[in-house]
Amino acid sequence: IDDIVSSRKQLTNLINRINAQCRKRFEESFQQVRRHFNELFRKLFGGGKADIFLTDPDNVLESGIEIVARPPGKELRTLSLLSGGEKVLVSLAVLFSFFKARPSPFCLLDEVDAALDEANTERFARLLKEFLHNTQFIIITHCKRTIAIADQLYGLTMHHPGVSTLISVRFEEASKLIERARVAKKPQTIGA
């Protein structure tokens, strides 16, 4: 019985230490993300103010997270009251806040720009470029402005029914080919 009681006490102490360490790390990371979120929100919206806060700050490991945003010229709102494009920008600000706090080597984004107008797509593209030194992005999109910032483009084509073919274009190589073709087409002049 003494052995069981001792093991239980050791296990309880270990759980308490792990919980304290998790709470400390979560609080540190949350504050970093919160700071970056407000900065990135202003960058994506061209102003305004936003914040992320815990619904139960006394119990951070069980707490929910609430996001409030005030785009420029609008009143403070919860995420559910924003338009589709505004929700996308807020979500991107949250996502990139995580990347700023803890960079990831790669990220897959699927049609994140679908609800954005041209001006907001341009802001998204500028923000994306800031993170290219730490993260490689794979973006599934139909938006020409987003495609324009890519280094390489992949697509599928179907020349024959039921047979898909993968195509790939590396923009740097395509630019070189275009330049070579332009030089080859120039008329040659003969000097006397």
* Distance from C-alpha of 54 to C-alpha of 180, rounded to nearest angstrom: 58
CB atoms within 10 A of CB 127: 16
Residues 57-65, mean pLDDT to the nearest whole number: 88
Per-residue pLDDT of 89-146, as tens digits, reads: 999 999 999 999 998 899 999 999 999 988 899 999 999 989 988 899 999 988 888 8
Per-residue pLDDT of 20-34, as tens digits, reads 999 999 999 999 999
Question: Is residue 168's pLDDT more than 70?
Answer: yes
What separation in angstroms does the CA of 114 have from each of 70, 75, 118, 139?
22, 25, 10, 12
Question: Who contacts 36 (Cβ-Cβ below 8 Å, separation ≥6)?
Answer: 96, 97, 100, 101
Give the phi and the psi of residue 83 in degrees, each rounded to 5.
Answer: -70, 170
pLDDT at 192: 47
Provide the token pair at 88: 């996308």
Average pLDDT over residues 69-77: 85
Residue 189: the pLDDT is: 55
What integer best gives the mean pLDDT of the chain? 87
pTM listed for this prediction: 0.76
Instruction: Copy the structure tokens of residue 2.
Output: 């003494």
| Residue 187, pLDDT score | 61
Contacting residues for 137 by C-beta, under 8 A, at least 6 apart: 106, 107, 108, 109, 128, 131
